Amino acid sequence: MSKLKCEIELELKDKDGKLLEKRRFPSHTFVLNFFTLLDVHLAYRSMSITKIDGTTANVNLSDLNASQDFGANGSYGDANKGIVIGTSDTPYSPTQYKLQSIISHGSGSGQMFYGIQNIDQPQQVTNGYRIVLSRVFNNASGASITVKEIGIYMYALGVGYFLAARDVITPVTVANGQSLTVRYIISLTSS
């Protein structure tokens, strides 16, 4: 028997990189959109997904570029792809299609800098394997920002960007000059 699970790890660091706080907790992870895209590829048949703007569209499998489906490899500053953070504590629902109050990239009021989205190759761990997705968010806005929700935005051809996972977390306040590292740890272990 194997166990597939997802955990979230948070690290709050000061401007010098000194660790101030570290948490690790289970993620509720998936929303319906992710599961639907999985079904699209299991069945190899187009289905409808809700985009982050609330409209729906069909996944386009007729184009070779559908190989980009599930992509979460956001580049620096890209708040449409990869791990994203927000300030809302609206409870999780599997039909949600976006973070409820996303923090955008930048140094303006209420903004944070989005680092590049890192996705490590599968690593062997005790009794199994894991994938780690991590992203660093820097606050240069001039004021504190309290993060209350995190999620993952992915891409699917024909749909564009969509919410794949969302969690409401115990709030973490990121003061000006501090950074927050968010890690999703997806593991498959024997049990």
Binding site for other proteins (CB under 8 A): 1-7, 20-30, 32, 35-36, 38-39, 41-45, 47, 61, 63-73, 92, 94, 119, 121-122, 127-131, 133, 154, 157, 186, 188-191
3-state helix, strand, coil in the chain (%, to 5): 10, 50, 40
Short-list 57, 190, 82, 68, CA closest to 137: 82
How many C-beta atoms surround the C-beta of residue 45 within 10 A?
Answer: 10
Could you tell me the smallest distance in angstroms from the CB atom of residue 185 to other proteins? Answer: 11
Tokens standing for 33?
């959109």
Left, alpha or beta for 70 (phi > 0: left; psi -120 to 50: alpha)?
left
**Residue 30 CB neighbours (<10 A):** 15
Which of 71/177 has CB closer to other proteins? 71
CB of 127 to other proteins, least distance (A): 8
CB nearer to other proteins: give 27 or 141: 27
- Which residue shows structure tokens 């409820």? 100
- Least separation, in Å, of the C-beta of 36 and other proteins? 5
Looking at the Cβ atoms of 150 and 154, the one nearer to other proteins is: 154
Q: Which is nearer to other proteins, 127 or 144 (CB)?
A: 127
Shortest Å, Cβ 30 to other proteins: 5
User: Is the Cβ of residue 51 or residue 130 nearer to other proteins in the bound state?
Assistant: 130
Task: Write down the least CB distance from residue 188 to other proteins, Å.
Answer: 5
- Neighbouring CB atoms inside 10 A of 170's CB total 9
Kindly tell me which of 29 and 111 has the beta carbon lying closer to other proteins: 29
- One-letter amino acid of 112: M
CA 42 to centroid of chain Cα atoms? 22
Residue type, 95: T
* Contacts for 104 with CB less than 8 Å, ≥ 6 apart: 79, 110, 111
Smallest distance, Å, CB 83 to other proteins?
A: 11
